Amino acid sequence: MTNPGMKCSRCRRPASHRFPQHNLRLCDACLEIFTERQVERAVKKWRMLAPGQEVVAAISGGKDSLALWQILARLGYRVRAVHISLGFGEFSQASLDACRAMAQRLDAPLEVRGLEDWAGAAVGEIALANRREHCAVCGSLKRHLLNRLVFELGADTLATGHHLDDEAGRLLGNLMRRHAGYLERQWPALEGMAPPAGGGVGLARKVKPLVRLSGDEIRAYAQSQGLPAHLASCPRSKGATLTNYQDALELMEQRMPGTKRDLYFGFLRQKAGPPPPPEPGGLCRQCGGPTRQETCGACLLLRRARETAARRAGQGGAA
């Protein structure tokens, strides 16, 4: 994608990155400025964080979350990095190693939690017991655990490394399947709810500071900054629906540069009002977290997995 005589659009020195979607060529130094400014603009535009605010960042060890961590720290936010280890063997070990290397690089603490330890079972077992897609179960449990951790750490905001490709892909899927509710709640920042008066778990604010950056921009940033990212994609995520929408968008982006930006930011521009407030509901009678059912989705997943395990153990004992 680069050619030898290419010049940086900002400083006219030799450029090594090319972004057709902006008709932009950048050298490493200007890429750093460009990338970090895009984050700064997103944070400001959607009022994601107050200056110096404490924010829990979900760090998977991939390029996106490591870039998020570094940029938020450089922009002066107090980042509490949290890594949820998924228990997927070598993949998860390499992810954890990447997070630890990044913590060392930034000289910052890293909170690590094991999803299996917390859930009492492997994600695969829980998915099987619930007859649900692996990715959907993993995502649901991860979001639940991250939400709890935000309040355990005394914070109220969770930042994730979702970027333009993620959001535009999700938007395409929601548009094509006419998910009006998801469309209404698709924003780069969503407000949360404070924990109930007696203490416990609220609903964390969710912010996506990388939303103005595409995957290729973040990849270039991560490479040129030498971030110790774990670049493999999750071995269990094959056939995830989101990937199909993202790949279709990528095809359109290659032929019509700017497609993703036009889709996502055009969608945000035409929204009638501000982001909707969280829908108030009750508290899960299992975990005390926010839910609109009696028991929250994550606790239901875990309960069914426990019931299945108990039934199997019972059958084993009777045999």
For its own copies, the binding residues (CB under 8 A) are: 172, 175-178, 239, 241, 244-245, 247-249, 251-252, 255-256, 259, 262-263, 266-267, 270
Q: Name the minimum Å distance from CB 188 to its own copies.
A: 18
Give the total residue count for the chain: 319
- Return d(Cα 59, Cα 65) in angstroms, integer: 5
266 vs 282 by CB, closer to its own copies: 266
The per-residue DSSP string of 176-221 comes to HTT-HHHHHT--SEE--BPPPTTSS--B-EEE-TTTTS-HHHHHHH
Minimum separation from the CB atom of position 190 to its own copies (A): 22
CB count, 10 Å around CB of 292? 11
Tell me the sheet residues that pair with 84.
Answer: 113
With beta carbons less than 8 A apart as the criterion, state whether 86 and 135 touch: no
Backbone angles phi, psi at 138, to 5 degrees: -60, -45
Smallest gap, in angstroms, from Cβ of residue 215 to its own copies? 17
- 199's torsion region: left (phi>0), alpha (psi -120 to 50) or beta? left
DSSP class of residue 282 equals E
Rounded to the nearest whole angstrom, what is the least distance from the CB of residue 244 to its own copies in the complex?
5
Cβ neighbour number for residue 197 with a 10 Å cutoff: 6
Cβ nearer to its own copies, comparing 21 with 241: 241
Could you tell me if residue 271 is left (phi over 0), alpha (psi between -120 and 50 degrees) or otherwise beta? beta
CB of 65 to its own copies, least distance (A): 27
Closest CB to its own copies among 1 and 251? 251
Whole-angstrom Cα distance, residue 199 to residue 218?
Answer: 38
Closer to its own copies by Cβ: residue 236 or 306: 236
8 Å CB contact between 92 and 86: yes
In terms of CB distance, is 104 or 244 closer to its own copies? 244
Closer residue to its own copies, CB minimum distance, 39 or 172: 172
To its own copies, the closest distance from the beta carbon of 248 in angstroms equals 4
**Which lies closer to its own copies via its Cβ, residue 45 or residue 177?**
177
CB of 142 to its own copies, least distance (A): 24
